[in-house]
Amino acid sequence: MATFEVRLLETGETLKVEEGTTFQEIVEKAEPFHQAPIIAAKFNNKIRELFRKINMNGDLRFVDLKEADGMRVYQRGLIFLLYMAMKDCFPEKRLLVMHSLGNALYCEVEEGSLSGEELSIVKQKMKELVEEDLPFEKVRMTRFEAIKLFKRLGWEDKAKLFRFRRKDTVDLYACGEYRNYFYGYLPPSTGHLKWFDLRQFDPGFLLVYPDFNKKDPMSYREMPKFANVFLEYKRWGSIVGVSTVGELNELIVSGSQNVNELILISEMLHEYKIALIAHEIVRRKGVRFILVAGPSSSGKTTFAKRLSLQLKALGVVTVPISLDDYFLDREKTPRDENGEYDFECIEAIDLELFNVHLSKLLKGEEIELPRYNFKLGKREWTGETFRLEPHEIVVIEGIHGLNERLTEAIPREYKFKVYVSALTQLSIDSLNRISTTDTRLVRRLVRDYYFRGHSPLTTLKMWSKVRRGEERNIFPFQEEADLFFNSALVYELAVLKTHAEPLLIQVEHTEEEYSEARRLLKFLEYFLPINDIRAVPHTSIIREFIGGSVFKY
């Protein structure tokens, strides 16, 4: 029997394992080095299920539930667990996994609902399945066999999806008598899915999953305003007639006229929403400051410019003030836990000076605007002055816009806060949602390469740090927004695909980020490309990332 050498990165030791050994069999050697349960393996920079057998030499690091890769595996396992419980308890009800809300997935039942009592029955069944510790297994079949199976089971969304798949085979997951398709990997068994909760959330319910980066992993913060945004954009999906990738692909192959119509309707819905926000700002007499905030690559800059045009059409002049110009001198910037400058924390801004200037502007007084020299890392004064006229409103765009500390000297009634994010309303199929984070990352990869001179590897390397900053500085303040704007476009990933794939292919297999690049490439494989982008307006959010925008950035 063959043996393989595996270098365990947690300990630095080299293990000799026999052919047929699974990753699960050696996981205990790494457990003391992890602060959360291990759920998967990373072998030669590729994510692997714990039930997979080792078949070569290589470097091994285990993945736990503190990591994004680990949580994706856990979430898929929970969805399969929920699906099995639903099929066992209420086989006539079809489960739909819609989108995320904090550390929860919002779910619905197609053409129906679950009562509180029914939800309790499902939850109890899920607990029983966890106790049984049933193994998850991969089942490979041809694409045509899979499509035939999907049609027989009434899963038209999956059948449409795989109609356009290039690969000849499909890997399904099996657990007991149940089979289903999932984008990505699963845990080794139901016994690994101990942490979950089900909560009523009309018209559907929440599947709460743990967050081991919090003191209480199962705590959940209600976000009613944020949740309402998804319900609004669910209606948009019905308007454009596209809710899954399969439906989008069908429309793309139907011809350019239908594609162009989809693009224009999507853009008109954006414009309609921006106009409504502008009217609401005008309706609220006395607003002098508009604060626009949101996570990376949400399209905040284009949104702010389009909102300014809508306000101008209503007789309101907007004046931008850049938060970047209020950075502290570099040597005064706080440092993070690694000793590096933390430019994303709110303390990196000269809050005292910023609030003094806003207070003076509110009183009609003149201020001298600073300019930040990023090369020198110092604030400079050029003599440029500014006074806010009665018919003008200041627009402030930045990640801290929703945090009251940023503008604490200004009474709340003078401020209007808008949260912008790409809250993707498109799904791969009924059980496989598209992550908002993935949409933003694909956007950023393209923009960083075209306009910031960053390689795809550079962007992937810094993405985890960007995400940590968002978790600390943006997401806790979402409910402070007066209104939300969803910058996602139902067609955008079909456009971004042709730009992002050549970049992701550049990431070498020797890099730690190779697994992420590989995951995104697999994700983009689901989409047929939209190559002719002439129908995409030059005012579109997506132009901020692919180029051709009428706005200057």
Residue 233: per-residue pLDDT: 67
Cα–Cα nearest to 240, from 221, 267, 276, 280:
267
CB-based contacts of 542: which residues, under 8 Å, 6+ apart? 299, 489, 492, 495, 496, 536
Cα–Cα distance, 375 to 352 (Å, whole number): 23
Q: Which helix (H) or strand (E) holds 483?
A: strand 483-486
Cα–Cα distance, 257 to 498 (Å, whole number): 20
For the segment 310-333, what is each residue's pLDDT rounded down to a tens digit? Answer: 999 999 999 999 899 999 999 999
Tokens of 485: 């704007």
How many Cα atoms occupy the beta-carbon half-sphere of 32 within 13 Å?
3
CA of residue 465 relative to chain centroid, distance: 14
Backbone φ, ψ for residue 292 (5° rounding)? -110, 120
Backbone φ, ψ for residue 75 (5° rounding)? -60, -45
Q: Give the chain's domains with CATH numbers.
A: 3-64 (3.10.20.30), 70-208 (3.30.980.10), 228-546 (3.40.50.300)
Q: What is the DSSP letter of 511?
A: S
For the segment 48-79, what is each residue's pLDDT rounded down to a tens digit? Answer: 999 999 999 999 999 999 999 999 999 999 99
Query: For residue 435, which amino acid is it?
Result: S
Cα–Cα nearest to 159, from 238, 245, 86:
245
Residue 502, SS3 per DSSP: helix
For the segment 330-361, what is each residue's pLDDT rounded down to a tens digit? Answer: 999 999 888 888 888 999 999 999 999 999 99
Sheet strands side by side (includes 3-8): 14-18, 3-8, 58-64, 38-43, 46-48
Residue 240 pLDDT grade (very low, low, confident, very high; cuts 50, 70, 90): confident
- Look over the chain and give the mean of its residue pLDDT values, rounded to a whole number: 94
Q: What is the 3-state secondary structure (H, E, C) of 110-163?
A: CCCCCCHHHHHHHHHHHHHHHHHCCECEEEEEEHHHHHHHHHHCCCHHHHHHHH
Cα–Cα distance, 479 to 295 (Å, whole number): 14
Q: Where are the alpha helices (DSSP H) in 241-255?
A: 245-253
Residue 228 pLDDT grade (very low, low, confident, very high; cuts 50, 70, 90): confident
Taking the model in full, what pTM does it have?
0.93
Cα–Cα nearest to 132, from 187, 191, 75, 194:
191
Q: Could you tell me the CA-to-CA distances from 501 to 346, 438, 545 in Å, in that order? A: 35, 14, 15
Q: Look at residue 230 and tell me whether its pLDDT is greater than 90.
A: no
Query: For residue 429, which amino acid is it?
Result: D
Cβ–Cβ under 8 Å, residues 53 and 65: no
For the segment 131-160, what is each residue's pLDDT rounded down to a tens digit? Answer: 999 999 999 999 999 999 999 999 999 999
Cβ–Cβ under 8 Å, residues 214 and 221: no
Cα–Cα distance, 332 to 329 (Å, whole number): 6
